[in-house]
Amino acid sequence: MTDTQMGRWPKYYTVVAMCVFAQLFAYFDRVNISVASLAMQETFAWDETTKGFVLSSFFIGYLAFQVIGGWLANRFGGKTVLGIALVLWSIFTFFTPMAASVSLSLLIAVRIAMGAGEASLAPSAFNIFSRWAPEKEKATIVTVFSAAATMGTLLALILTGWITQRYGWEMSFYIFGGAGVMLSMLWYKVIYANPADHPSISKQELDLLPKVTQEGKTKGVIPWGQILSSPSVWGLFITYFCTSWGLYVFIAWLPSYFAAEQGLNISNAGIYSAAPWLSMSIFMVLGGWGSDYLINRGKKRIVIRKMFGVGGMIGSALALYLVRDAESAAAAMGLMVVALAFLSFVYAGVVPYLMDIAPEHSDILYGFTNTFGTLPGIIGIAIAGWLVQTTGTYDSVFALTAGIQIVGGLVFLFICRAERQIY
């Protein structure tokens, strides 16, 4: 397919780009508090356990609305649901400083509400991708979308540290929240729910996209029994739980680790914490491209999925375990760069696998999968805070995370089967 036949900028590029920006802004709003909390802890006199609960409270709402978000996307379409969600979580981000100044309870309530708003993001995006993602670019698109999470984390860590140092911790919430509201205005102007509804899409591009996109997904009975009875689906749930454990723990606690154990100031703690996420962003996209390349060259799909998924988790676990022996901030950062580079490959294996086994119900399945992937955001972050407060070191956090990732790799290897599971 040539650029001339589809236009120099195919319409699905715009759709993917807007989903990427939504993901990017979501992580700005989700992650900035991990750096801002260093200053908030001093202002409000939080201990480590209290701070851990503040950091994890977002994930209560995020967890509770995952399946609901998937159902809403399936019922009303990803365009509508994601657009509304973007407005809501941005507003709650903007009002976070005001809530914190009133009471700890109100701050936690706002963070829970913000998490509920973001819960619909990924299921809605997968609903959109089920219509707009060409089969031969599936892993690339999914990993570019996922990479926006790590890039958002990277930028949030750097920008929040810089903003906090110069303008106070409150300002990052005002900036990120306001920018999200502005993005939502653009969203409804450029996104079309179905490719066939786009006024200027070419026949050539329509032919390139999945056939379901042209028919529109019917709002029929959701196969709950197939979803909940498939061993492969449950293997996917467990694998995603193990993958997300490391991501959420380090999103929340890496700045505190570099500040407490490596003696860095707030700005430098943000920068050192950001470097591993840069490596993850780069290697995630490379992994997605590599996965699609190998499959399009005739390699067996499930073999490639497991090669990236299992290899990524095991490699990441080994690097994380070695962080315990790092004797400098630079050494710790280097090992974390390696760990998250390996973990990025998981997204080229595990996440596209979800679309392989449930192509017409990927929104619902992702809602379930991300429910399990969100649990570490609550219990993992809280357990990490308790371990640090109890032991006075982060060594046990790194060791526990490494062990959990090994379990996830083994589950994906031995339980998840190749064939389609949900019809």
Domain-by-domain residue ranges, the chain? 8-215+225-414
Whether the Cβ atoms of residue 59 and residue 248 lie closer than 8 Å to each other: yes
* For residue 212, pLDDT beyond 60: no
Whether the Cβ atoms of residue 352 and residue 296 lie closer than 8 Å to each other: no
Report the percent of the chain where pLDDT is more than 70.
Answer: 96
* For residue 213, pLDDT beyond 60: no
Please choose, from the candidates 163, 48, 145, 144, the residue with its C-alpha nearest in 3D space to the C-alpha of residue 97: 163
Residues in the chain, overall count: 423
Q: What is the mean pLDDT of the chain?
A: 88
Maximum Cα–Cα distance for the chain, whole Å? 63
**Residue 376 DSSP one-character state:** I
* For residue 88, pLDDT beyond 70: yes
Identity of the residue numbered 129: F
| Nearest-10 crossing angle of helices 381-391, 395-414 | 140
Q: What is the pLDDT of residue 102?
A: 94
Whether the Cβ atoms of residue 11 and residue 128 lie closer than 8 Å to each other: no
Distance CA 41, CA 47 (A): 7
Architecture of the domain whose range is 8-215+225-414: Up-down Bundle (1.20)
Q: pLDDT tens digit string along 221-245?
A: 778 888 888 999 999 999 999 999 9
Q: What is the pLDDT of residue 4?
A: 44
Q: What is the pLDDT of residue 291?
A: 93
Q: pLDDT tens digit string along 41-70?
A: 989 988 877 888 888 899 889 988 988 998
Whether the Cβ atoms of residue 364 and residue 71 lie closer than 8 Å to each other: yes
pTM score, whole prediction: 0.77
209 phi/psi in degrees, rounded to 5: -85, 160
Distance CA 238, CA 411 (A): 7
Q: pLDDT tens digit string along 250-296?
A: 877 888 888 888 888 877 887 888 888 888 889 999 999 999 999 99
Q: Residue 2 — very low, low, confident or very high, per pLDDT cuts 50/70/90?
A: very low
The more confident residue out of 122 and 219 is 122
